[in-house]
Amino acid sequence: MRVSLVYRDELAAYDFGPAHPLRPERFTGAVALMRQHGLIGEGAMAVVEPQPAAEEDLLRVHDATYIAAVHEAGRDPRAFVPGHGIGPGDNPAFAGMHEAAALVCGAAVSAFQEVLEDRCDRALSLAGGLHHAHRDRAAGFCIYNDPAVGIAWALERYPDLRIASIDIDAHHADGVQEAFWDEPRVLTASIHESGRYLFPGTGFADERGGPHAQGSALNIPLEPYTGDAEYRNAFDSTIALAVRTFRPNLIVTQNGADALADDPLTSLGLTLSGYRDLVTRLAALSDELTGGRMVAFGGGGYAWREAVPRAWTILAMSLMECAVPNELTAER
């Protein structure tokens, strides 16, 4: 498989500060570990350096008033009056906020470009997967919704696309579901810890899509401590079946690593071996249905020092369809 890593060091500017749980080290550490394993460079993943998303790309998903507020928050964080979900708590203002978030969205657009223009089979944007941002507000550590920006860009340029967006983050992909709630060309499938226990409090089985796209949203809420076997069963019996029925010609995945058992913000029980099994199944599904075409994102993961870099190195290996060494899946 030809795999592109959409990455540049400046993506680490998306940083709410050292006390915030969403750390850029979750993906910079993953890239460093991938280099150690020889996954980047000649004969391996090609690196594609993204540019910031254009305003028109953001406007397909977000309101102009909200984008203006993000600009303002990043110009003078101390003077910014909290609003649009930006302020103390989950989404504190920081200098250069718009530029940093627009670069993450630009990485999403580049990933879709790479695949749809046949420069690679699969593209990986680890800094992205910020799936909670809404049309007019930030939420859940997410300023702009880069998967939604990328999908909207792709649909405008390739109107015959059918996209299956599969999200395995511990949190429900509420912002992506919302963006394509009434879009029959997009299936949004999310497997996550139940909203009865975990932010954002949505993602129940009766959320099925809008009036023109009934059945285009699929949600599998899980009980706390759900482990590998239950994940495997849910994927095989529900997600894979729904995606096969939908018949996509592109698969998009959000591969948050916060469903791992040692994540400090969630209560699920996935092991690294289970994570490997899950992302390997995602890659195999793309082989079966789309000729391997796939755009993959990072997402959440708050055991950022060791667990997330290992999980996303496993993800890269699954995209490349190479063997995963035991040292990456060993529980420590």
Q: Residues with catalytic annotation?
A: 132
- Side-by-side strand order, sheet with 250-254: 46-48, 3-6, 122-125, 294-297, 250-254, 163-167, 186-193, 217-222
Cα–Cα distance measured from residue 328 to residue 314, given in angstroms and rounded to the nearest whole number: 7
One-letter amino acid at 39 equals L
Cα–Cα distance measured from residue 200 to residue 289, given in angstroms and rounded to the nearest whole number: 31
Cα–Cα distance measured from residue 201 to residue 207, given in angstroms and rounded to the nearest whole number: 12
Cα–Cα distance measured from residue 273 to residue 268, given in angstroms and rounded to the nearest whole number: 14
Burial category of 262 from C-beta neighbours within 10 Å (exposed 0-12, middle 13-18, buried 19 and up)? middle
Closest CA relative to residue 305, chosen from 245, 271, 261, 263: 263
**8 A C-beta contact, residue 122 and residue 4:** yes
Closest CA relative to residue 227, chosen from 285, 270, 256, 184: 270
Which helix (H) or strand (E) segment is 187 a member of? strand 186-193
